[in-house]
A and B are shown apart, each in its own frame.
Chain A
Amino acid sequence: MRLRDRVAIITGAGSGIGRESALLFSEEGARVVVVDIAEEAARETAEMIGKDAVPIKVDVSRWEETEYMVEETVRRFGSLDILFNNAGIDLPQATTVVETTEADWDRILDVNLKGVFLGARHALPVMMAQGHGIIINTASKAGLRGPRRESAYGASKAGVVLLTRQMAMDYGSYNIRVNCICPGALEKPTIDRRTLLEQQPGALDERNRRVSQWVPLGRLCTAKDVAYAALYLASDESSHVTGASLEV
């Protein structure tokens, strides 16, 4: 039970990495607050977990909603030990800079980068008062090198990487560790891209085949792969790890 009695908020937990992480953290003894902008999906994840799982609908790009997310967690469970800022979007139409509309730019930056800031912004005072805390952010390999034809996404994820390192520097003395995970291309892409690919029969498989050529291990990353990385960073085993960008 690597996370016995730890209270964890996981955003974007209605599906994918967030859902797998919620299930895994719960198996390891954590009490999980399942956060997603899709209320039904969050509830579904909470039902899969059963006891001690609380679903909350949150748009992480909004100050009031992330504030509520943290306050409600502390009200219910008395503490906030782990914040996993995993919520993120990937809009397939936002490709090159010229092709990216201002609205899409703003949305991607607001959810992927500002959302991480807001989660941390509200969680940190709680963690500082407690004398401990762990923040994990889902960044991306696309935040470490410049990705082609996803400028806004790459910029947002690079922002997450730097914000992670910067917060690690500022809050280490409060016994708060801040790390990020940089997954490569996912076997099951995020919802918007997946929806687009699924419109054409075989397109998803073709995309997976094409992209996995570049992966040394010859296969794409699964949600479980990332969940295990998050578990490591959430547990005491990583007690000397902070400011890291863990590539998966």
Chain B
Amino acid sequence: MGRASALRLAEEGARTVVVDVVPASGEETLAMVRAGGGTGMFLEVDVSDWVAVESMVQRVLGTYGAIHILHNNVGVAKMKSAHETSEEEWDYILRVTLKSVYLCCKAVIPGMIEQGGGSIIQTASVLGLDVSPRLAAYCAAKGAVVNLTRSMAKDYATRGIRVNCICPSDIDSPRRRANESEERRKFLLSRLPMDRYGQPEEMAEAVLWLASDASSYVTGAVLPVDGGFLA
């Protein structure tokens, strides 16, 4: 999803800063951006760490002078019920999925205020509003991301900063197709009125709309891009 978002925004002329903890993947995304005629850079950053996040923002401001769009797309899940979840697992999922959003926004917003505006998009999840078996920490984290989005939208609305989130349901991927059991697939599809998974490119279209001026009156929105899951 992050890759699709980077490519779509770059396609529309954005100078795209690709951020990931896995350099190989991040570099690959940047190469694809450039192959498509776009420009950008790759930064290896653990966005759950304040010092790293602050440094990331300084680097980007140093190179490009401004940050207009922030897409907080990182999240991790473990299929564990509450009583199966260890303290370490809880802390990890909440730190990477929720706290990273707080840290990146805290680092980026002051610059956006100075320049008179910006657009912040979170990849939340349908599981920030509704729930699923054996995903206790993940649902809690995504629920918090949704409401944090709404709060930030209200707090920064008069500063020209729009803050929104998208709620994907299940996304297709090569790894999923390789590893997923037929039983699990049947269960997931049974909840999707469109009877298929979403494509990362379909998420990227929503991100693009929210990032651009075309959505100029949209803030605090919790936009399902979910094949009808939440309907």
Contacts and interface: CB of A to CB of B under 8 A. Distances in A.
Interface in A218-244: 243
Given A148-B154, A159-B143, A98 B131 contact: no
Contacts of A158: 143-144, 146-148
B141 interface: yes
B151 A147 contact: yes
A136 interface: no
A120 B82 contact: yes
A17 interface: no
Contacts of B109: 97-98
Interface in A53-96: 63, 95-96
A143 B145 CA distance: 11
B118 interface: no
Interface residues of B, number: 47
A117 B220 CA distance: 27
A149 B153 CA distance: 11
Chain A's interface: helix, strand, loop or mixed, by majority?
helix
Contacts of A113: 94, 140, 144
Determine which residue in B83, B110, B137 has the highest number of CB atoms from chain A within 10 A of its CB, and name it.
B83
Contact of B135 (A100, A102, A128, A166): A166
Contacts of A124: 82-83
Interface size class of A (residues with CB under 8 A): 35 or more
B73 interface: no
B131 A165 contact: yes
A155 interface: yes
Chain B's interface: helix, strand, loop or mixed, by majority?
helix
A7 interface: no
Given A109-B94, A114-B94, A121-B83, A159 B144 contact: yes
Interface string B25-57: 000000000000000000000000010000000
Interface in A192-241: none
B90 interface: yes
Interface stretch (B16-24, B98-106, B188-196, B206-214): B98-106
Interface of A: 63, 95-98, 100, 102, 105, 109, 113-114, 117-118, 120-121, 124-125, 128, 143-152, 154-163, 165-171, 243
Interface of B: 50, 81-83, 85, 87, 90-91, 94, 98-99, 102-103, 105-106, 109-110, 127-137, 139-156, 220
15 contacts: A97-B102, A109-B98, A120-B83, A143-B143, A143-B147, A146-B150, A146-B153, A154-B148, A158-B144, A162-B128, A162-B143, A166-B132, A166-B135, A166-B139, A243-B131
Q: Nearest 4 pairs between A and B by C-beta?
A: A146-B150, A162-B143, A158-B147, A159-B144
